[in-house]
Amino acid sequence: MADSDARIFFLALDEAFKIHENLDKVLHRFFELVETSFTSRLDDAILSVYIIVGLGVLYFYKEELKNFQASFTWLKRGMLLFISSLFLDVVGHNKEFLSPLISNAETLDEVHHWYTTVEEIPKVFASGAMIICFYGCFKIAQKLKTKSIKSQ
């Protein structure tokens, strides 16, 4: 359990201090990379690694998680919303994707600003879904503990 607490703590720190965004900048400086549209997406790759590691952890503990399947609907929703947020971030990484639609530079800046705001919405709902999932798991664990104590 302590290792999962550490993972959740790290993700909270990452969100608070924007570790993966800053790691992108550190990698640019360390390897003396010229920032291009490709290399500026390193933070998206880092988030993809988070997803893969998370899925790996779920797979590794799949036997232990069978008792908590009632909460998996919320886990799936949270993952889908998180992946949606990542997709929106990748698509809207820079404002060039909007330039064929908007020629005025000021309008382009404003629309892109709002786009980056809107792209955060799925992340907020993903966090809510994960909290509901974890709370559901907590309630199931309490019931399992109570059953275990009564059976002894």
pLDDT digits (tens), the chain, 152 positions: 455 566 667 767 777 777 766 777 777 788 887 877 777 777 778 778 888 888 898 899 889 889 999 999 999 999 899 889 888 888 887 787 788 888 888 998 899 889 888 888 998 999 899 999 999 999 999 999 888 888 77
Tell me how far apart the alpha carbons of residues 76 and 109 are, in angstroms, rounded to a whole number: 34
Alpha-carbon 121 to chain mean position: 12
Tell me how far apart the alpha carbons of residues 70 and 83 are, in angstroms, rounded to a whole number: 22
Tell me how far apart the alpha carbons of residues 83 and 64 are, in angstroms, rounded to a whole number: 25
How far from each other are the two terminal CA atoms of the chain, in whole angstroms? 23
Confidence at residue 58, expressed as pLDDT on a 0 to 100 scale = 86
Residue with structure tokens 């199931």? 140
Torsion of CA 115, 117, 119, 120, to 10 degrees: 180
Confidence at residue 20, expressed as pLDDT on a 0 to 100 scale = 67
Tell me how far apart the alpha carbons of residues 148 and 122 are, in angstroms, rounded to a whole number: 38
Closest CA to 89 of 53, 122, 55, 124: 122
Phi, psi of 93, deg, nearest 5: -55, -45
Structure tokens at 52: 């893969």
Confidence at residue 122, expressed as pLDDT on a 0 to 100 scale = 93
Confidence at residue 1, expressed as pLDDT on a 0 to 100 scale = 46
- Cβ atoms of 46 and 23 within 8 Å: the answer is yes
Q: Can you state the angle between helices 19-30 and 42-60, rounded to 10 degrees? A: 120
Confidence at residue 17, expressed as pLDDT on a 0 to 100 scale = 74
Confidence at residue 30, expressed as pLDDT on a 0 to 100 scale = 82
